[in-house]
Structure 1
Amino acid sequence: MRLHHLRYCLLPVCLATVTLPAVAQADDAPVYQPGPDPVSVDHNDATNTMSHQNGTAGNSNDMGMSADNSGTTSNASYRDQWLKGRFQLGAVGNVESSPYRGADNYDLGGLPWIAFDSERLHVGIDGIKAKIVQGNWGSVSILGNVRMKPFDDDDSPYLRGLHDRDWAFETGVAYDREIGPGEAHIEYLHDVSGEHEGQQADATYKIPFQTGRFHYDVGGGVMWRDSDLNNYYVGVEPGEARADRAAYSADSAFLPHLDASVAYQLTQQMIVRANASATFLPDEYKDSSIIEDDVIYGVGLGLVYQF
């Protein structure tokens, strides 16, 4: 079992993004504040292999995060906007299809979930998101994201002998705004650790709606990755070529993705959330000698306690 990065989308990936929004409650229960999506299947992602990991903390595609995207300023003091919030504890798991040639059809992953969310700040195992400017026009945030390595060389005979991929730390910026019935999110991430030296941009749109205690998010988007980041996932250097593994260098590419999630409030402080995603791999990925599938599917499940 390998641990995967949680968005932010998917995720893909997600740390892309979707949120753990306020969920409808019984008349005598308080409404929860927006928070991250702990079970985002990577876009930064997202976790995971090459699915849409929308690196926003809380993606994020990261895994992602994005809290209150309206951009409106509350009446709370500036200090409280940063420091007054909720802690979250829980557990998350996901199942994701692997596109790599000769690898197991599905990868299983699981992690404990620890996070803090205020109006302007998210800090969690999926990354960091700090909303530095907000207004009626939307909000701008700075991001910190950890990208998990896409594979181990013992995952498949066709991956054995490739140079080691390690975790990467990325920083970036995000813009959020409510548009029509939904929420738009645009983010940019670049590697500052020197692991892949690549960059990624993701534009997503989601529509939230609720029925009773169920809260749904449905949406999708398109992610762009440069050649350096794509080679981190699918590149084969000339010195690594074999008779059954041709050398390959990828160009920059666009990766469309679809996402859906549902959250249900079990108690006044406990929420269970499930999601699903599909990331469509372009020719720049499918032409690699270590790739055999053209779509990555993922599902996730998480249980979170808020206080």
Structure 2
Amino acid sequence: MIRSLMTAAAAYCLLTAGASAQTPEEIERYKKMTIFQIGLAVAVNDEPYVNFNDGTPNILAVPFYVYNKNNLTLAGPNISYRFWKPGGVQLSAEAKYRFQNYDEDDSPFLEGMGDRNGTFEVGMKAQKRVDRLRLQANGFVDVAGQHDGYELQALATLEVGNGRMISFRPLMGIAYQSENVLQYYYGVTAEEARTGLAVGDGTFMDRPEYSAGPGFTPFAGAEFRIRLSRRLALSGQLKNNFLGDEIVDSPIVESGNRASAFVGLSYGLSGPGIIKGKWL
């Protein structure tokens, strides 16, 4: 699924946009610069649904761009505007696209479920740096009428590289998703319930009605960025979501993990350290 693979591409855009700024002083200096980057990422996405894509992760090459000027950042369909910084806490208003979806033909076990779509969400993000530790909290609500729910998230990343030529950041956090979110992506209505569905290898399973409640999803992973030259950078992220009981208990789910990975090469058209007339 192209749309679900774009999850990693969107995350990559945001990582590339923020990876250069490592200290509050650098952040303030970079706000006055125009940062414009383009690139290509290879994204891998592994969904937890029964016999999804015959058990093979989706792999796709995805183009992207990042534009940052003053307090505004554009990264693909995502928009962020930093508007306040009380007590060292940076507050942003954001709009983003949720790249989570499936089509019923992604698995024979999803036949008759209809398609689940991604959606546009708006919300707020608060972020604070404490030395090499970055703490973040955010919340988003659906404004496009797909899941009609909301998600709250708290996470922390730790900078263990030098922050300039090489950056490596382990991350961990937890997300709370409302009942509407989990019901939309993992629930089964009475009309969608089936008996004796083929799941491959001559196996048949029932798909009973299932109502998902709200739930928590812990996650962990790592980000990295290696600056190859003034303009070229190699970046990536590995992330695994440890799905809670409200998701795992769904009859259309067969795995307790939802994993994604990507690696991408970006080229800076403008930004810190870039000299006009020098292509690398």
What interval of TM-score do these two structures reach, taking the shorter chain for normalisation? 0.7 to 0.9
Q: Which of 124, 147, 151 in structure 1 is aligned with 2:98?
A: 147
Match of 1:219 in 2: 171
Q: Match for 2:211: what amino acid?
A: S
- CA 142–251 in structure 1, closer or farther in 2 if over 3 Å, else same: same
Aligned length: 255
Instruction: Choose between structure 1 and 2: higher helix proportion.
Output: 2
Residue 156 of structure 1: how far off its partner (Å):
0.3
Q: Which of 225, 232, 235 in structure 2 is aligned with 1:263?
A: 225
Q: Match for 2:123: what amino acid?
A: G
- CA 303–264 in structure 1, closer or farther in 2 if over 3 Å, else same: same
CA contact (8 A) 2:136 2:156 kept: yes
- SS of alignment partner, residue 172 of structure 1: strand
Q: For residues 60-75 of structure 1, what are the structure 2 equivalents within 5 Å?
A: 70=24, 74=28
- SS of alignment partner, residue 74 of structure 1: helix
The answer as to 2:183 corresponding to 1:231 is: yes
Q: Which of 35, 39, 45 in structure 2 is aligned with 1:90?
A: 39
Question: What are the Cα deviations for residues 190-214 of structure 1, in whole angstroms up to 9, with x where unaligned?
Answer: 0011111010011000001225832
Q: Match for 2:28: what amino acid?
A: S
Residue 162 of structure 1: how far off its partner (Å):
0.9
For structure 2, list consecutive stretches of 5 or more residues without a partner in the other structure: 196-205, 270-280
Match of 2:149 in 1: 198
Q: Match for 2:253: what amino acid?
A: I
Residue 181 of structure 1: how far off its partner (Å):
3.1
If the length of structure 1 is used for normalisation, what is the TM-score? 0.76
Q: For residues 129-168 of structure 1, what are the structure 2 equivalents within 5 Å?
A: 129-168=80-119
Q: Match for 1:279: what amino acid?
A: N
- SS of alignment partner, residue 228 of structure 1: helix
- SS of alignment partner, residue 238 of structure 1: coil
Q: Match for 2:216: what amino acid?
A: F
Residue 255 of structure 1: how far off its partner (Å):
0.3
Match of 1:37 in 2: none
Instruction: Choose between structure 1 and 2: higher strand proportion.
Output: 2
The answer as to 2:231 corresponding to 1:295 is: no
CA contact (8 A) 1:71 1:139 kept: no
Q: For residues 20-99 of structure 1, what are the structure 2 equivalents within 5 Å?
A: 21-22=18-19, 33-34=20-21, 70=24, 74=28, 81=31, 84-99=33-48
If the length of structure 2 is used for normalisation, what is the TM-score? 0.82
- CA 109–73 in structure 1, closer or farther in 2 if over 3 Å, else same: closer
| Residue identity (%) | 24
Match of 2:266 in 1: 304
Question: What are the Cα deviations for residues 101-159 of structure 1, in whole angstroms up to 9, with x where unaligned?
Answer: 01132122332111201341111215011001124431110010111342111100111
CA contact (8 A) 2:7 2:98 kept: no
Structure 1 Cα separation of the partners of residues 174 and 12 of structure 2 = 12
Structure 2 Cα separation of the partners of residues 248 and 123 of structure 1 = 38
- Whichever of the two has the greater Rg, that structure is 2
Question: What are the Cα deviations for residues 279-299 of structure 1, in whole angstroms up to 9, with x where unaligned?
Answer: 100000011010000012222
Residue 70 of structure 1: how far off its partner (Å):
4.4
- CA 203–229 in structure 1, closer or farther in 2 if over 3 Å, else same: same
Residue 6 of structure 1: how far off its partner (Å):
2.8
Question: What are the Cα deviations for residues 151-171 of structure 1, in whole angstroms up to 9, with x where unaligned?
Answer: 111100111111332231110
Residue 2 of structure 1: how far off its partner (Å):
2.6
Residue 98 of structure 1: how far off its partner (Å):
2.0
Structure 1 Cα separation of the partners of residues 78 and 221 of structure 2 = 20
CA contact (8 A) 2:40 2:64 kept: yes
- SS of alignment partner, residue 284 of structure 1: helix
Match of 2:79 in 1: 128
For structure 1, list consecutive stretches of 5 or more residues without a partner in the other structure: 23-32, 35-67
Aligned residues: CA RMSD: 2.6
